[in-house]
Amino acid sequence: MSPPFPFHIIGFDLDGTLVDSSLELAAALNHALAQNGREPIAAASVKQLVGMGAKHMLKMALEQSGPFNPEELNQLLPILIDHYDSHLGTQCPVFPGLEAALDRLSAQGVRLAVVTNKYEHLAVKLLDAIGLLARFETVIGGDTMGPGRSKPKPDPIYEMITRCGGGTAAFVGDSIHDVRAAQAAGIPSVAVRFGFLHQPVEELGASAIIDHFDDLVPTLHNLA
């Protein structure tokens, strides 16, 4: 008889963890940059800008393309968001093995959640567009908890646990913000090697690392 699953709740980051959204994000970002005649940024480079929400991504892209002022940032942000909103789910594949891993966790009675720094309404719309929304008990976005309370703060992780009914939890992500949020909340973290990494995955300080979603369930068992 197999041992009981060690976690009641598993949370996931979204961009770079569940889905490869780099093409959609690059298209929206470059659409916004083009409004002011700025050079486009390659999708591979956009992966380095993701993790702290749309405004941070746009700010970093503007810094790379030359001098800018806060007015330009505020002007282009709604243009970026509108374009992204209009094209959600059109070029956003899930990472290999994800759905099978979610099936295995759900079969164990695990409650699943998404905690992202993307705006909540965009995260919900994206997950719905690609057919994953129903798999998750809750979706917490970068604006859900209010200003200054998104990852790497532990607040959204605590909220995830509360919304999922309490119990043991672990968090899966691809960035230092994911790992630090989990650490601050006192739960284990699993880093994915295939995500939008800003640094070598070994430097994130995660409790464990996976190379493929096939490894997730056994890795979670080992963490216990």
Q: In a 10 Å sphere around its CB, with 0-12 CB exposed, 13-18 middle and 19+ buried, how is residue 23 labelled?
A: middle
Same domain, 56 and 114: no
Residue 167 lies in a domain: yes
Query: 34 to each of 26, 125, 153, 157, 171, how far by Cα in Å?
Result: 12, 25, 33, 36, 37
The number of folded domains in the chain is 2
Same domain, 195 and 119: yes
| 3 — pLDDT class (breaks 50, 70, 90) | low
CB 157 within 8 A of CB 181: yes
**13 in catalytic set:** yes
Q: Which domain holds residue 39?
A: 22-86
Residue 41 lies in a domain: yes
Same domain, 15 and 37: no
Same domain, 201 and 138: yes
Q: In the chain, pLDDT over 90 holds for what percent of residues?
A: 81
pTM: 0.90
Same domain, 36 and 101: no
Residue 31 lies in a domain: yes
Task: Supply the CATH number for residue 159's domain.
Answer: 3.40.50.1000
pLDDT tens digits along 111-138: 999 999 999 999 999 999 999 999 999 9
| 65 — pLDDT class (breaks 50, 70, 90) | confident
Same domain, 62 and 99: no
Q: How far apart are CA 188 and CA 179, in angstroms?
A: 8
Same domain, 123 and 78: no
Query: 129 to each of 12, 18, 122, 123, 126, how far by Cα in Å?
Result: 18, 14, 10, 10, 5
Q: How far apart are CA 113 and CA 5, in angstroms?
A: 17
Q: How far apart are CA 43 and CA 33, in angstroms?
A: 14
Catalytic residue among 13, 15, 20, 174: 13
For residues 197-207, give the mean pLDDT.
94
Over 60: is that where the pLDDT of 93 sits?
Answer: yes
Residue corresponding to tokens 């759900």: 106
| 2 — pLDDT class (breaks 50, 70, 90) | low
Residue 4 lies in a domain: no
For residues 165-176, give the mean pLDDT.
97
